[in-house]
A and B are shown apart, each in its own frame.
Chain A
Amino acid sequence: MATTPTPVLPKLVGARIKRREDPRLIQGRATYVDDLKIAGMHHLAFKRSDIAHGRITSIDVSAAKDMEGVEAVFTGTQLVDLIPPMPVGTPYRTPEHRALATDTVRYAGEPVAVVVARDRYLARDAADAIVVTYDPLPAVVDPELAMTGKPALVHEGFPNNLLLDSIPGGTGAAGGSVDDSAIDKAFAAAEVVISQRMVNHRLAPNAMETRGVVAHFEAGKGTMTIWSSTQNPHVLRSIIAAMFGMGQDQVRAVAPEVGGGFGAKINVYGEELVAAALSRKLELPLKWIEDRSEAFVATIHGRDVIGYVDLAAKRDGTVLGLKLRLIADVGAYNMLFTAMIPTLTMLMANATYDIPAIRVRLSEVFTNKTPTDAYRGAGRPEATYFVERAMDLLARELGMEPADVRRKNFIKPGQFPYQTQMGAVYDSGDYEKALDHALKVANWEQMKRERDAARAEGRVVGIGLAMYVEVCGLGPSFLLPTGGWEHAQVTVERDGRISATTGASPHGQGNETTFAQMLADQFGVPIEHITIHHGDTAVAKQGIGTFGSRSQAVGGAAIHLAGGKVKTKMARFAAALLEAHEDDIVFENGLVSVAGAPASGKSFAEVASYAYVPVPLPQGLEPGLSEEAFFEPANATYPFGCHISMLEIDRDTGEPKLLKLVAVDDAGHLVNPLIVEGQIHGGLAQGIGQAMIEEVVYNEDGQLVTGSFMDYAMPRASDFPMFELNNTVTPTPVNPLGAKGVGEAGTLGSTPCIVSAAVDALSPFGVKHIDMMLRPEKLWRVIQGGQA
């Protein structure tokens, strides 16, 4: 007998559905670290150095200590026994770094003392009452001067301020030996050589939610719970446990809502360690919330790499060799992944090209500035910028179309998997397809006509194009000291609803939606019946975190695998109920039934209920429906694309205006194109921001000049044209989803394509290269015939 017709559920993977997490976030109904309150909670405030470099000669905390409501004040030396040196995730020799400076301060903003007080205002008052005197040392600001040991050493024992000294990579550099013959041969055979110094300048990440931490050591239980605005609570948990001699079972880390990370919240910071250590010592719950002024100096910065690029080519545009000398200004300390980020620039020096010989040399230099670490793109935008600008210089030198010189050198689709000169194995790609698609979507020929017509009117207009390829979906495990897998657990609850946990800790990536879309299709149930849990090490038992555009490609694959295991088991319960073979069981439209006979089926909830009260228990089955999976990718993924822009510069003022931006991105299969577009929009905003308005500036004393939004320009929607997005689909073979990752893509192609458009616009003035960012005054000087 036919019963009530079952609604047909649409397939959700590939659908443009809105993010389920957004309503609570935009309505102010979400819980961030600063929303947490615990009885007895006290607040921390840090006294920070107001000079860039100097020896601490005295710290007077007496006035602060005497204030009513101040529980305790600690200086750096008083915490040496409580807190081990700061964690470092790279294998290189590194200077000792303490959560609070002990005898020397090395950047303006470095903490030197901490106050514990009853409320946040009082804590700030007390921190301000601490008097520190310094014996100033010369501030090390220029990284190229710093490499000569001048004007001072940032760290004793690191001569010439080098964290890493001229590490070679590329053709003929392996196992400690360097054979330059191939690269020398390439340059000897060159008909044209392009040489250009370029600067990929420093940026401040500026997540909308600043950092924050609540640490609660419960002495009775001997456990520590630490809430932090972090991208990777499991990494934080492991580090806190190791540093304080606790078991990983005794530490719980929670990332509640996280209002943006952009790489800057991968790092484990001194403030987190201080909060944890003092909570244990004082047996008080402690909170610290970074304010915006602190965020500019105390949260890591990104980029800041000088590249000397030499490109050897034939006059037909064939590239023979590439030399890249990289000098990374890493600031004052080697943080968790500081030293690793510029190595990703090395890794991606091949870009999208089949270059026969490449030599990269990387030096990482200490200066008296805020330390650098991962910032959206993290090393790959730098590589893209240097190589793509060089390709554009080559095209201009040869009078070739920018697309043609690239086309001439692409790695061809038949060459994948492609082993690069830098040791990467690109998983899959079709660069010419992305290029052709972008040229068509942008209507490049029409853009050229528009540019020429504008020039005829006396306007300063240019167009630019850039390719990119990045390394995403990080691991596998040999790439990451944390491990490169991801973990998931999927549970069909007794009532037929589904809970899933993921170790990826999304903070804007939309995985509560995309993972639920996948599970809804997998089990044939409504997405409303599915909840994705994350960000709590007590809930998501294992995990690595969200960074390197990995949450969908690696975390999503783990969800897929765990879901598959549960589904297999549930099919066996259903087979018992329906007296059928488990291979014939299908899940669709909220029913579990025998293939071809939906009317005979049981509701999803009925089968779930049976699995938890299994009378009779089918032979060979345990009760329950909950399975976990670790997914270890076979390789990283290498998404790619082509960005095209048109830019106008005001002839009278030098103000640049972006007229058009076309982004064609290939991230493989897309689970939710709407979310993908949102990710690309965000990346573009930060890439365009770097090209056009964002720049961290220090003065000669090592003081941050751009320490507030009054001087550091955050891009606004009004700074952009409507983005024109499109995509090609080249799936990756390294995970079962074919998804490559897209979180950082927007930052890669946009910067060189915009700078190339600016150079094109200024080419009538004799300009071949101009460094970011496109300051109006700088452009005005070019137009006035001065220097770029």
Chain B
Amino acid sequence: MIPTAFDYQRATSLDDAIGRLTAAGGGAKLLAGGHSLVPLMKLRLSEPKTLVDIGRLKELADVREKDGAIQIGAATTHHEIATSALLKGQCPMLAEAAGEIGDQQVRNRGTLGGSLAHADPAADYPAVMLALDAEIHVKGPNGWRKIRAADFFQNLFTVDLGPNEIIAGVQFAPMRSGAYAKLHQRASHFAIVGVASALELDGGTIRSARVGLTGASTHGVRLTPVEQALAGKPATTETIAAAAQIAGADLETVNSDIHASEEYRRAMIPVFTKRALEAALARR
């Protein structure tokens, strides 16, 4: 629990941080809330030479509505997201998911950008970002890139982010009829299974649905067969029950550990898909 020696630098701006990352030639890591990185450093599983602190950059810490879209800065803490009046009104699913991360101490320090970049297979945000079809905004030495969530999460702890790129924030359209449902791992309070669902409703019909899953496999994925089973159907609990039944059936591999076997996890995917969809429908 004692990290190796490292240099600490505090960035003064996003561009300054990019410059410091580039100058370090791969030896630097970004520090924001430190709730993924610092435990790894204490276990000596990560031994960066330099930490570039972006946790205090004001340009990265904000939840705002702009041109009909919602933007959240990467250094916004889970607690700020969980308690944001804007999000509770315009995107309750995200506030709900943030409020179920870890415990209060973790939520006070951990940040949205840090969690997205780390891409723990059991983190909560990937499911929500997928269900929101959010854009991840990243900036690097060559300027800005906007990446759809479905393209961003690639594999175990692997995202579409270059070595000197930084997540600046996310952007998505408001989504009121969305919900997140999660089976907590009782020690870490990561998700054994977490499902985020967003329903586009057209009167009594589900025009389209997006369903994101976390915890079950290497990285967050969309439950496309469920989405297809919902699209164009009446917005009823019967539709949801039928669609939820097939949730996860197409997944080739599902995680297994002491907290939940593969069999149990597979059984929980439909349970939490149904819960998330029912809660989303109740919010229309």
- Tell me, rounded to whole Å, the shortest Cβ–Cβ distance linking A86 to chain B: 25
Q: In the complex, which residue of chain A has the Cβ closest to the Cβ of B184? A: A655
Return the contact of A709 from the options B3, B43, B187, B261 (Cβ within 8 A): B187
Q: Specify which of A45, A652, A693, A705 is in contact with B258 (CB 8 Å cutoff).
A: A705
- CB pair A291–B1 under 8 Å, yes or no, is yes
Segment of B59-67, B207-215, B263-271 in the binding face: B263-271
Contact (Cβ within 8 A) A780 B267: yes
Within 167-182 of A, Cβ neighbours of B (below 8 Å) are at none
Query: In the complex the two chains form, is B264's CB within 8 Å of A292's CB?
Result: no
* A777:B264 contact, CB within 8 angstroms: yes
B49 proximal to A (CB < 8 A): no
Complex CA gap A719/B271 in Å reads 22
A-contacting residues, B231-284, CB 8 Å? 258-261, 264, 267-268, 271
Residue interface bits A701-738, CB-to-B below 8 A is 1, else 0: 00001100111111010110000000000000000000
Interface size (A, Cβ < 8 Å)?
Answer: 32
Does A713 contact B186, Cβ atoms closer than 8 Å?
yes
- B-chain residues with CB within 8 Å of residue A121 when the two chains form the complex: 2-5
CB <8 Å contact, B187 and A712: yes
Closest to A291 in B: B1
Q: With A and B bound together, what is the CA distance between A29 and B143 in angstroms? A: 49
The secondary structure that dominates the B interface is loop
Q: Check A128 for interface membership: any CB of B closer than 8 A.
A: yes
A125 touches B4 (CB 8 A): yes
Return the CB mask of A433-457 against B: 1 if under 8 Å, else 0: 0000000000000000000000000
Cα A120 to Cα B5 with chains together (Å): 11
The complex places the Cα of A669 from the Cα of B5 at a distance, in Å, of: 55
Q: How many residue pairs, one in A and one in B, have C-beta atoms under 8 Å apart?
A: 56
Per-residue interface assignment for chain B, residues 5 to 46, with 1 indicating a CB less than 8 Å from any chain A CB and 0 otherwise: 100000000000000000000000000000000000011100
Q: Which of A657-708 touch B at CB < 8 Å?
A: 693, 697, 705-706
Q: Is the C-beta of A250 less than 8 angstroms from some C-beta in chain B?
A: no
* Minimum CB–CB distance for B81 against chain A, Å: 19
Per the bound structure, the CA–CA distance linking A697 and B257 in Å amounts to: 12
B147 at the A interface (CB under 8 A): no
A6 within 8 Å of B by Cβ?
no
A653 at the interface (CB under 8 A from B): yes
Point out the residue from A292, A293, A711 that lies within 8 Å of B188, measured CB to CB: A711
| Cross-chain contact of B187 among A294, A655, A711 (Cβ < 8 A) | A711
Q: How far is the CA of A292 from the CA of B2 in the complex (A)?
A: 10
How far is B192's CA from A711's CA once the two chains are assembled, in angstroms?
Answer: 12
**Complex CA–CA separation, A23 to B158 (angstroms):** 46
Q: How many residues of B contact A (CB 8 A)?
A: 22
How many angstroms between the C-alpha atoms of A709 and B43 in the bound complex? 13
Distance between B257 CB and nearest chain A CB, rounded to angstroms: 8
Are A293 and B187 in contact, CB atoms less than 8 angstroms apart?
A: no
Closest Cβ of chain B to A290, distance in Å, is 9
User: Is B173 among interface residues, defined by CB-CB distance under 8 A?
Assistant: no
Query: A301 near B: Cβ within 8 Å?
Result: no
Residue B103 is within 8 A (CB to CB) of chain A in the complex: yes
Q: Residue B259 contacts which of A294, A711, A784 (CB distance < 8 angstroms)? A: A711
Q: How far is the CA of A65 from the CA of B52 in the complex (A)?
A: 32
In the complex, A505→B15 CA distance in Å? 56
Residue B183 at the chain A interface, CB threshold 8 Å:
yes
CA separation between A128 and B47, bound complex, in Å? 13
Q: Quick one: closest A residue to B270, CB to CB?
A: A652
Q: In the complex, what's the smallest C-beta–C-beta distance from A787 to chain B, in angstroms?
A: 13
Measured CA separation A776–B271 after assembly (Å): 14
Chain B: which residue is nearest A705 at the CB level? B258
Q: State the CA gap A652–B267 with chains docked (Å).
A: 9
Tell me which residues across on chain A come within 8 A of B187, comparing CB atoms.
Answer: 693, 706, 709-714
Let me know if A655 and B258 touch, CB within 8 A.
Answer: no
A716 adjacent to B103 (CB under 8 Å): yes
> Which of B2, B4, B103 is within 8 Å of A291, CB to CB?
B2
Please give, as numbers and ranges, the residues of chain B lying within 8 Å of A780 by CB-CB distance. Answer: 264, 267
Instruction: Known A-B contacts: A121-B5, A125-B4, A711-B259. Give 14 more (CB < 8 A).
Output: A121-B3, A291-B1, A291-B2, A292-B1, A293-B43, A653-B183, A653-B271, A706-B187, A710-B187, A710-B188, A716-B103, A718-B103, A780-B264, A780-B267
